[in-house]
């Protein structure tokens, strides 16, 4: 049987195109659902647990976890933007008055590396794919940064601890190899990178259109 012209380019099929034209993204209005799924994917957290939110922004994801686990003992918030970090720390201290909450200014994947005490659960909310893309350059540059960021993240996880990362993946028509412009990764590409960083039990814990949660354990 001869190949149809749209095997490798499904958007060339007019019906596929009409179905997907504006429907391939999960859409920002569904973000609370995806972040909620990350909380659902977590193991139980209590006074003896240490949660690290890497690239915490203003603390939205850590706050959601704190809402579900009010006895959580320790939270570390890592973020390069000082004003966002300040807001995140204030938010988490208010939500968890008995917990130890530390704010650490810092960036994943930079030459200085990240130094925080390793946590047993590390969460990442929409950091790896957008920052990889925002940095620009070629896909090879993006992958070099992503691999450095994942090396930092692995060091932030205690042996036996877990990483949970919610990300927005590449569009179905994203194409291009190492020398082409940087793009977000597909699910298998991201899962491969997480495994390649030395984590095991790598699994897609949730997916809805372009949104996914990858979980993995540090051996
Ligand atoms: C899309 S926001 C997500 C913020 C937060 N995790 C959330 O879910 O609301 C990406 C965050 O990553 C931070 N960021 C930028 N470069 C970073 C890096 N190299 N390492 C860690 N975080 C970074 C940005 O300052 C921003 O707060």
Q: How far is the CA of 126 from the centre of ligand 1 (A)?
A: 7
Helix residue spans in the chain (DSSP H): 14-20, 31-41, 60-68, 82-95, 128-134, 139-155, 187-196
Which residue has tokens 């909310």?
Answer: 125
Atom of ligand 1 nearest to the CA of 107: 20
Name 129's Cβ contacts closer than 8 Å, sequence gap at least 6: 167, 168, 169, 184, 185, 190
Q: How far is the CA of 114 from the centre of ligand 1 (A)?
A: 14
Question: Using a 6 Å CB cutoff, which residues line ligand 1?
Answer: 54-57, 60-61, 79-81, 84, 107-109, 125-127, 130-131
pLDDT at 23: 85
Give pTM, 2 decimals. 0.96
**For residue 157, what are its two tokens?**
């996880």
Which residue has tokens 């095997």?
Answer: 7
Q: How far is the CA of 59 from the centre of ligand 1 (A)?
A: 10
Residue 2 pLDDT exceeds 60:
no
**φ, ψ at 11 (rounded to 5°):** -65, -10
pLDDT at 81: 97
Region of residue 126 (left: phi > 0; alpha: psi -120 to 50; beta: else): left
Atom of ligand 1 nearest to the CA of 108: 20
Q: How far is the CA of 52 from the centre of ligand 1 (A)?
A: 13
Looking at every residue in the chain, the average pLDDT score rounds to: 95
pLDDT at 151: 97
For 138-179, the pLDDT digits (tens) are: 999 999 999 999 999 999 999 999 999 999 999 988 999 999
**For residue 212, what are its two tokens?**
């996914």
Rounded Cα gap, residues 161 and 123, in angstroms? 11
Residue 93 pLDDT exceeds 50:
yes
pLDDT at 98: 97
**3-27: average pLDDT:** 86
Nearest CA to ligand 1 atom 10: 127
Q: How far is the CA of 103 from the centre of ligand 1 (A)?
A: 14
What are all long-range contacts of 181-184, with beta carbons under 8 Å and residues at least 24 apart? 181/137, 181/138, 181/139, 182/132, 182/133, 182/135, 182/136, 182/137, 182/138, 182/139, 182/141, 182/142, 183/133, 183/139, 183/142, 184/129, 184/132, 184/133
Atom of ligand 1 nearest to the CA of 109: 19
Of 167-176, 178-187, 197-206, the poorest mean pLDDT is in: 167-176
Nearest CA to ligand 1 atom 4: 57
For 20-70, the pLDDT digits (tens) are: 888 888 888 898 999 999 999 999 999 999 999 999 999 999 999 999 999
């Amino acid at each position: 049987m001869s190949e149809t012209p749209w095997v490798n380019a499904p958007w060339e099929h007019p019906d596929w195109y009409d179905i997907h034209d504006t429907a391939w993204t999960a859409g920002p209005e569904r973000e609370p659902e995806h972040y909620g799924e990350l909380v659902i994917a977590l193991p139980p957290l209590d006074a003896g647990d240490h949660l690290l939110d890497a690239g915490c922004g203003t603390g939205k994801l850590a706050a959601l976890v704190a809402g579900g686990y009010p006895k959580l003992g320790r939270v570390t918030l890592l973020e390069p933007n000082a004003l966002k970090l300040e807001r995140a720390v204030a938010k988490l201290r208010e939500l968890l008055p008995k917990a130890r909450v530390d704010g650490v200014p810092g960036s994943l994947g930079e030459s200085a590396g990240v130094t925080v005490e390793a946590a047993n659960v590390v969460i990442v909310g929409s950091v790896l794919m957008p920052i990889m893309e925002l940095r620009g350059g070629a896909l090879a540059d993006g992958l070099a940064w992503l691999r450095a960021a994942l090396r930092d993240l692995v060091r932030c996880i205690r042996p036996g601890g877990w990483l949970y990362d919610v990300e927005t993946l590449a569009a179905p028509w994203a194409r291009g190899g190492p020398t082409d412009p940087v793009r977000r990764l597909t699910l298998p590409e991201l899962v491969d990178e997480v495994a390649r960083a030395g984590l095991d039990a790598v699994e897609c814990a949730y997916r809805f259109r372009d949104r996914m949660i990858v979980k993995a354990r540090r051996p």
